Amino acid sequence: PKTDIVFLKVHKSASSTVMNILFRFGETHNLTFAFPQGGGYQLYYPHHFLARFVQDFSPASPRRFNILCHHMRFLQPEVQKVVPSSAVYFSILRNPVQLMESSFAYYKGASAFSRVRSLEEFLSQPYRYYNPASGDRHYARNLMTFDFGFNPDADVSPERVKLMLKAIEASFDLLLISEYFDESMVLLKEVLCWDLDSVVSFPLNSRDSSTKSPLPDSVVEKLKAWNRLDWEIYTHFNRTFWERIERDIGRERMGREVRALRERQAELARTCLQGPGSVAPKDIKDSSLRPLQYGKARILGYNLKQGLDGELERTCRRLVTPELQYSSLLYKKQFPPPPP
């Protein structure tokens, strides 16, 4: 199994669920994580990533970390200073229309969104609300483009788009698609030479459907145009994703692998969870399993069955531990506080 990994955690793209998979694998295999300084949760996002943002990184020592997966704005020469040269680089993308709808609910306090009641209102005259000079502009336009390190306000000339796609292809070994999450996990398992249980997951940091609203077609078209750079990234890598599946796995075996993954997840859900699945924040009984609530979104979580035995309880708990709690736990394990 490959143990040196860079995951670019693109916002609002099922990336918290992927991060949970990486946390569990790293913990099980005693790997080191490139944590933000002081145990924070982001690597000084939205600044471009610098090696010195990582706890215990020192230019004088050649120490490398196994897994880099916290939120960052990608800058490969700096990333290469903290991970081994053999690291596998991957990320996950989401349809920019759904991504922006999610971003609007989650980052409602962002300067571009705070004065509008709806996405439709924002898109009717975006430059009335959107300021390219504001420090949180990226939440409102081409968020994937920004996370990959590019300018979200750049012009959309064919030459520029081509250069951007080529740069992403040169840096990343694999780009997954969140709409095809199970297929993505099978592909990830293949590339990393992991076993099935390593890529099993329950959806984390997902929103209650009561805060989601379907968008009219006219708004969808405006969203695509406004997020044109993201749309170019998404459509290109959605195509290469399926080409890769055809080439490396084949549709038939992919179908079998996805069924096996879903069966295993269903089995774990029956074993681990109280009730049929995720629940509203107010219904989560164990406060250590309650995800951070943010913006207008209501973030769901899980209740574990009572009386699970030691090892099984640990497995189940890790599957449903929200990102911030899990990150803190691993940070304390890697950097134990000095005894009093």
Query: Which letter, b or e, does each residue of 311-338 get, where b requires 16 or more Cβ atoms within 10 Å of its Cβ?
Result: eeeebbbbbbbbbeebbeebbeebeeee
Look at residue 337 and tell me if it is in a domain.
no
Q: How far apart are CA 265 and CA 243, in angstroms?
A: 26
Residue 209 predicted with pLDDT over 80:
no
Look at residue 66 and tell me if it is in a domain.
yes
- Mean pLDDT of the residues in the chain: 95
How many structural domains comprise the chain?
Answer: 1
Specify whether the CB–CB gap between 330 and 27 falls below 8 A.
yes
Amino acid letter, 191:
V
Tokens of 315: 């497995």
Q: How far apart are CA 55 and CA 33, in angstroms?
A: 9
Residue 24 predicted with pLDDT over 80:
yes
Residue 124 predicted with pLDDT over 70:
yes
Range of the domain at 297: 5-332
Residue 211's pLDDT band (cuts 50, 70, 90)? low
Look at residue 229 and tell me if it is in a domain.
yes
Residue 207's pLDDT band (cuts 50, 70, 90)? confident
pLDDT at 30: 98
Residue 116 predicted with pLDDT over 70:
yes
pLDDT tens digits for 51-90?
999 999 999 987 899 999 999 999 999 999 999 999 999 9
Angle between the N-to-C axes of helices 251-272 and 310-320, in degrees from 0 to 180, rounded to the nearest 10: 120
pLDDT at 212: 73
Residue 303 predicted with pLDDT over 90:
yes
Look at residue 13 and tell me if it is in a domain.
yes
pLDDT at 118: 92
The verdict on pTM exceeding 0.85 is: yes
Q: What is the mean pLDDT of residues 16-25?
A: 97
* Residues forming a β-bridge with 89: 6
| Strand 88-93, strand 174-177: pairing | parallel
DSSP letters, 24-73, are: HHHHHTT--B-PBGGG-SBSSTTSBP-GGGBTT--TTS----SEE-SB-B
Q: What is the mean pLDDT of residues 91-97?
A: 97
Look at residue 339 and tell me if it is in a domain.
no
Look at residue 325 and tell me if it is in a domain.
yes
Q: What is the mean pLDDT of residues 87-103?
A: 96
Look at residue 199 and tell me if it is in a domain.
yes
Residue 191 predicted with pLDDT over 70:
yes
Residue 238's nearest CA partner among 184, 171, 173, 158 is 184
Look at residue 338 and tell me if it is in a domain.
no
Q: How far apart are CA 21 and CA 27, in angstroms?
A: 10
Cα separations (Å) of 194 from 19, 167, 186, 197, 242?
Answer: 15, 27, 10, 8, 20
> Which CATH number does the domain housing residue 203 bear?
3.40.50
